[in-house]
Amino acid sequence: MEKKNMLSLLRKGMFMMLALLAAGVMVSCSSDDDDDDKAPSNFEKPKYEADAAKFTVTDGSSEIKSIELTEAGNFIIRLNNTANYAPKTEKPLARLLKKNIMISPYLAAEADKAATRAEIVVWSDILYGKYTKTGDNEYTLDGYGTLTVVSEGGSAYSLRIKKTDGETVDLEANKAGTPESGSMTDNLCRTWNIDGFRYYIRINGKTYFDETSTSIEELTEKLNKWMQEMDPDYTEDDSEVLFEYEPKQFVFSKSGTYMVLYTNDMLAVSTWRWGDQSNGILEYSWNPDTFDDSDLSGEAKIEFSNNKLFITEGNSESEDGITFEVASVIILSEATASGR
């Protein structure tokens, strides 16, 4: 293999996966042959698994679009307008993304910055916090108010919200369906904190770079150092990673919600389903209406070991007989009861 060809491939694609890591993006799956022998996991049932549900409001004129109670005791509220919460500002694609990088989930959040209250995170049309069950079908949404849920038969429900400012809101809603059931679903659907990131590069099956770190910034520094050793003409200006958008927490729910919380309290909500649960292939889409939009959907490999979640994402291409593979692994552990 000619070194100039290898360096050309590295320059074309190596930082793409780091940019995706920083954004919490899931892209096409790449399995890691070195990690086939995973240790067993034994997850406890989440505290609020029996209460978890997503309610989609049927009145389109309502301020509230949907309310979701997750298995781990988090609530996610989607709004139809954001006038009373956070300002909206359009973010041009060109300013945020490099060419050939899949659209990042934070583009779905149009607010220029997050509004953080004592017990609740607000980003554009998304409100996120913790809830506790106070009675039969009654819940306290920390920092927001109380919620009472009444079944009307089938998937129809009545919701009564008493906000902290004294306002009472009555809503009609439908309960969302759930993804394919199974042990993988049970293990996945909880709240996860990010422990670290792994990144590796392989060329023609040989590993040239394989490092793990607790931060994407540190991982990039290691990658920069390695590239400088490989290519004297390389400079750190060749990399473009948006560290301000580094993810810190993931939420997966049995209502098909996948949400990312970032270090700057930005929020982005996606939807997910199993492509092949038996092999841990998860499909996602940032378009809630379809999984067929190639610009906004993809898949990732889900694995569990020692009660940790490993999400593997990768990309590969071939040129002049050289196969270049880059992959990232996000390493997560279940959020504690004291965490958000």
Average pLDDT over residues 263-278: 89
83 and 158 housed in the same domain: yes
Other Cβ atoms within 10 Å of 238 Cβ, number: 14
Write down the pTM of the prediction: 0.79
114 and 208 housed in the same domain: no
Which CATH number characterizes residue 36's domain?
2.40.128
133 and 155 housed in the same domain: yes
Q: Render pLDDT for 126-173 as a digit per residue (tens, 0 to 9).
A: 999 999 999 999 999 999 999 999 999 999 999 999 999 999 999 999
Q: Which helix H or strand E contains 217, and what residues bound it?
A: helix 216-230
Q: Render pLDDT for 207-261 as a digit per residue (tens, 0 to 9).
A: 988 999 998 888 888 888 887 887 777 776 655 554 556 889 999 999 999 998 8
Average pLDDT, the chain: 78
* pLDDT interval class at 113 (50, 70, 90): very low
Q: Render pLDDT for 163-213 as a digit per residue (tens, 0 to 9).
A: 999 999 999 999 998 778 899 999 999 999 999 999 888 888 889 889 999
Residue 323: phi, psi to the nearest 5?
Answer: -105, 120
Domain boundary among the residues 175, 196, 219 is at 175
Kindly give the interhelix angle for 216-230 and 3-23, rounded to the nearest 10 degrees: 170
In the chain, the number of structural domains is 2
166 and 301 housed in the same domain: no
Decide if 48 is inside a domain: no
Place of tokens 């307008």: 81
Nearest CA to 169 out of 76, 59, 51, 69 is that of: 59
pLDDT for the residue 266: 84
188 and 307 housed in the same domain: yes
For residue 237, what are the domain limits? 3-42+183-334
Q: How far apart are the C-alpha atoms of 27 and 24, rounded to whole Å? A: 10
* pLDDT interval class at 22 (50, 70, 90): low
Other Cβ atoms within 10 Å of 78 Cβ, number: 19
94 and 164 housed in the same domain: yes
Average pLDDT over residues 5-23: 52
Q: Render pLDDT for 60-71 as a digit per residue (tens, 0 to 9).
A: 889 999 999 999
Decide if 47 is inside a domain: no
* pLDDT interval class at 91 (50, 70, 90): very low
Domain boundary among the residues 134, 149, 175 is at 175
190 and 164 housed in the same domain: no
pLDDT for the residue 201: 86
311 and 231 housed in the same domain: yes
Domain boundary among the residues 114, 147, 175 is at 175
38 and 187 housed in the same domain: yes
